[in-house]
Structure formats: structure tokens, C-alpha cells
Chain A
Amino acid sequence: MYQYSEFDKAFLQERVAQYRDQVSRRLTGALTEDEFKPLRLMNGVYLQLHAYMLRVAIPYGTLSAAQMRGLADISERWDKGYGHFTTRQNIQFNWPKLVDTPDILEALAGLDMHAIQTSGNTVRNVTTDHFAGAALDEVDDPRPYAEWIRQWSTDHPEFQFLPRKFKIAISAGQQDRALVKAHDIGLRLVADEGGPAFDIYVGGGLGRTPVVGSLVFERVSVAELLPHIEAILTVYNLAGRRDNKYKSRIKILLQSAGMVKFKCSVERILPRIIDTFDQHLIGRLERLKSDFTRPLLPPRDVAPYWDAVNNQSDFKAWVTQNVTPHKQEGYASVTVSLKAHGQAPGDASAAQMRVLAELAEQSGFAELRVSHEQNIVLPHVAQSELMAVFARLKREGLATPNIGLVSDLIACPGMDYCALATARSIPIGQQIAMRYRHLEPELGSLKIKISGCINACGHHHVGDIGILGLDKAGVENYQITLGGRVGMDAALGEKMGPGFSEPELLLALDRLFEAYLAMRLGSDEVFSETVKRLGTSPFKSALYEVADAA
């Protein structure tokens, strides 16, 4: 992991002191809410439906065991004993008191963490593959590059007041696990003749105008990566719309200008940026790589592991769903489900966070990851230790073997917490998880994503089944989309038709699943493949058949 320097530590302490003074002035009335709002947002403090919310950055989703334990302590001391891990690999606390937020930021600084640029019209947390450094299919570990971009973009004076927020993701695997095509800039690390290089996708994003990102630059060398990002951001900063927040993301600029014109604008300023770019920054990448070397993973006896797989059905089920092969033989990556049936997706109690920290220390080289699907990953676990890890997780209610299945769904906080939401998401997710808990092994791999409003924080556009909650004349109403997917063949789901009330939604899903099970070619044809093969029409008929008959 990146180790904070003395400069980093002093920088955070100064920011905390600055923010403490701002809060103090707000509480005495010296600052009005209008004056205070941009200041608190620069420190990740939002105002939600019931209370303030603090979003804490977890750079590229990587946490040490000590940091996870510190987050547990913060949740107990200043919140309600839990935290919510987000789709952008951050954590949110839903109940902090404003007066306590400077103390929380100070505690975070003590953990080498902060909430800077987790809000506002600036470059947000750079996200990446939660299996980075362990994935069998990766070209290189993407985290040093993510950290490099984080350092360059943090407090960058030119990009603190962009037209709108700006999200960057990096993927380095054959399979894209970072949703690069759903980001303002998506970077795909590829092996080129001269070494690693980047394909740069621009203008992806979900929200109210979902767009799949376009490949704008191919095979960009490492030395020219930051200049390319700077040139893209500069064009966006100058030409992006500021008159209408719903048309201010870079995807709208790219659409209105057109790919050719946009690319020309970037290329026009690129030589100057390359020529004058700080060479010190280029050199820093090599030093960062040493912070991300994989821990020494000694060989272990795997015979007991295979015995357990062959003889314990619950262990085998968990290994099948929640354990991913590692690039080093004898090791694996464990995905700990934060989706126990009936639990709010992505929430973890302080007790659970401490167990995860302890397990990381005992069996995972003290390292954890947050996945964009709101689970926690132990990236490097010896197969010989998986039985002990499973037993401990099972005792703590953290061993639900459901990764990739129906109940491993994404749900935004929805109207239970969010001031922007138009419907609840979490209770819908809970009901779906409970209703299909016994059917989900039969249903197989299936991604359900639920958003509580058109801002699409629950990524419903790219779910095999997307659910969008809306307010229809004062009643919660849920629209279904089918056929969305993430990855390099990312596609947006197709809206099926009129929405359903909450009770109707579950009945509609019953019919949808029944239709899938009847129409699939076999148990190895997953839901998305059946939809791709047959199109959405037969599923649309299934969704609405009862309503039509009535």
C-alpha cells in the first residue's frame, strides 16, 4: 500500500484545522448554510434526508487492516455503529453530527485517510479492480497508476471547479471489473510492444443520461498518460457546460461536439502539455510501484483444502461462489459478502469490520479491498487457510455464498437516506434477497441493480435486471430494464414498459424468472446469455402477461 509521507500527514492536519474553523463559524452563525455548503462538500460532508452524511475516500478500494479497524471505531464513536460501502469503493457514514465532523476527519487523518474530493465538481476517488495485484488475468497491477493519478489530481489547482464531478477508473484485466466504460475517463491497461500502455475511453457514465464510454486514444504510453488526462480535463474545463447541471458532464460535451472535434481539441493542446509536463511526476510512478509489490506468498500444503472442498458441502458452496483463483498457485482471493439475505446491501457493522480486519491480519497480509459491488475482498489468502477463514466468517454471519447470484445485488441508499431519491431501494433489495434465497443457486449468475432515482447510483442501466424507483403520483413505482451489462462489451439495459408498484414488482420478477428457467437452453446458460439469444421480447411478455390479461 502507499505509505503517507510527512508532507501528506501535514497536509491532512492543515485541512482538518481549516475545516474545524469553518464548522465553528457555521455553528456560531458567522457562516450561513449557503456559505458553508461548498466548504463542507470539499470535505465530503453532504446533507441527506435525516442527517449529514460523510463520504470517506478509500483510494482504489484498498484498505489496511488497521484502517478497517479505525473505520469501525469511528462508526461506533460518532455514528450508529455501522458504515455503508459504496459502488465507488468508498465508505459512507449516515449519521454524523456536524459538530463531530472535524473530530472524525482528525481521526481519519490519524489513519492516513480523508474525505477530500469525495464530493464537489472535481476528480473523485480513482477506482480499480478489487482483485488488482492478485488477478490471474491482469497485465500489471493497476493500483500504482491509480495512486499516481490520485496524487496528481488531489488538490490540483486547475481542476477544483470543473463543470461537474469527474470519475476515473482503471482496469488491467482481460475482464473489466472496474466498469471503465461507465466512467468519465476509463483507462484500460494493455500490454503493448514497448511495455504497458493505456486505451483511454471518454464520456461514459450512468445517471439520468446513460452513455457507454468511447475509445478516444489507443495505446498511450505510460509517460504520456497524465498529459493525456490533463489535456482531456482542460478541454472539458473550458468547453463543458456550466449553465445546466444536467448537461454538464463530459459525456454531453463529447456527444454535442462529436468525437472527431473533441479529439482534435485535445490533440491541439497535448504537445504543449507533454513538453512542459513535470518530469518529477513521471519519475514518481517507479517509486510508487515499490509500495504495491505483492507480499511474499510462501508455498503451502493444499491437500487439506481439497479434502474440505470434497467433504464439506457448505464450504464447497462458499468456495464455488466466493473464492477467486489467484495468480500465485496455492493462494486465492476471498470475496466476503456484505449481502447476507435480508441485510442492507453494502452495510457492515463495526463488529463485522473488526472481524474483517482481524481476518486480514491473520490470513490476508493485513490487506482488504472494497469491491464496486459493495463487498469486501481479502486479496491474498493461502488455500490452506480458507477453511479457518470460512469458519470464522460463518460464525459472524459473513459467509453467505452468494457472490454473483440474485442476492448479491447493488442498491443505492434510496429514500431511506438520500435527499434526492424518489423511492426506496434497500427494502426492495431485501425483499428480493429473501424471496429468492432458495431459488438463487438454480437461477445462477444474475446481476440485479437497483436505483432509487434517475441519478442511477445503483447502476440500474447496466444490470442484467435493472430496477429504477420513481415517484408516480405519490406512490413508489419501479421500472424494469433488461439486458444491461458491464465489461468491455458494456451495454445499457432496455426499458421494458410501465413500472410496477412494490407488491407487483415481486410478482413480475416471479414471472420473469419462471420464463428464464423455461427458456434457457440448460443450467449453464446464464440469464444474460438467454436474454442476448432471445432478445427482450419474451421476457417483456412474461413481465406484463398478467397485467395484460387483467
Chain B
Amino acid sequence: MYLDENHAWVEALASAYLFQSLEEASAVAAKVNEPAQVIGIELVGVALQATQTVARHYREAIRANGPGEYVFPSLTGEADVSVQ
């Protein structure tokens, strides 16, 4: 989950608010860190590519985009049987 400009939680990195300073980000993080609801808050380094917000570190990219696409042969009908 990411914080948007209204300090609401959103699922897409593209909707996240981009803080311009570490001080501002830390202050807001402390303010919204409600222990009854929030497990933990981390600051994420991002970059702007054209109009897209992208994570700088691959961990955050995976967190934002989810795990890879995995194939189940029985679901796709691509039975994978013989290797000779």
C-alpha cells in the first residue's frame, strides 16, 4: 500500500504521493503510523520516467507489480510431457 496526496492508503504506486524531501516524508509517516492499523511504514525511493512513477530498487518494483507470471500447464493446456 502507498500513501496518496490526501494521506489515504492506495494500492498502486502510480497513485502514490511523491514527497520532495526526506523530512516531509518522515513527518507524514510518523503522523499516519497508527499502531492499531499499520504494521510498518518504509520510505521508497522512486524516479519519474516520463509521467510514470517507477521504483528505484527491484524489491519495490516487485512489491509494486507483484510476483512473476507463473504457468500451470494443466490450466493453460500446454501439457509439458516429453523431453527426449
Contact = CB atoms under 8 A, between A and B. Distances in A.
Interface of A: 28-30, 32-34, 47, 49-50, 82, 313-314, 317-318, 340-344, 347, 349, 351-352, 355, 394-402, 415-417, 424, 426-427, 430, 437-438, 440-441, 471, 474-476
Contacts of B27: none
A415 B70 contact: no
Interface string B1-37: 0000000000000000000000000000000000111
B49 interface: no
Interface residues of B, number: 29
A349 B75 contact: yes
Contact of B59 (A32, A317, A415, A440): A415
20 contacts: A28-B36, A29-B36, A32-B36, A33-B38, A313-B82, A313-B84, A340-B73, A342-B80, A343-B70, A347-B70, A349-B72, A349-B74, A349-B75, A355-B74, A397-B72, A397-B77, A402-B83, A415-B62, A427-B68, A441-B84
A424 B62 contact: yes
A260 B18 CA distance: 60
Contacts of B68: 416, 424, 426-427, 430
A341 B70 CA distance: 11
Interface string B51-84: 0000011110011001110111111011111111
A239 B2 CA distance: 44
A404 to B, nearest CB: 13
A317 B83 CA distance: 8
A400 B81 contact: yes
B72 A343 contact: yes
B59 to A, nearest CB: 6
Interface secondary structure of B, over-half rule: loop
B72 A395 contact: no
A471 to B, nearest CB: 8
Contacts of A441: 83-84
B32 to A, nearest CB: 14
A399 B74 CA distance: 11
A437 B80 CA distance: 11
Given A49-B62, A341-B80, A342-B80, A398 B67 contact: no
Pick the 10 closest A-B CB pairs, nearest first. A397-B73, A29-B36, A416-B67, A340-B80, A397-B79, A344-B70, A32-B35, A349-B72, A397-B74, A396-B74
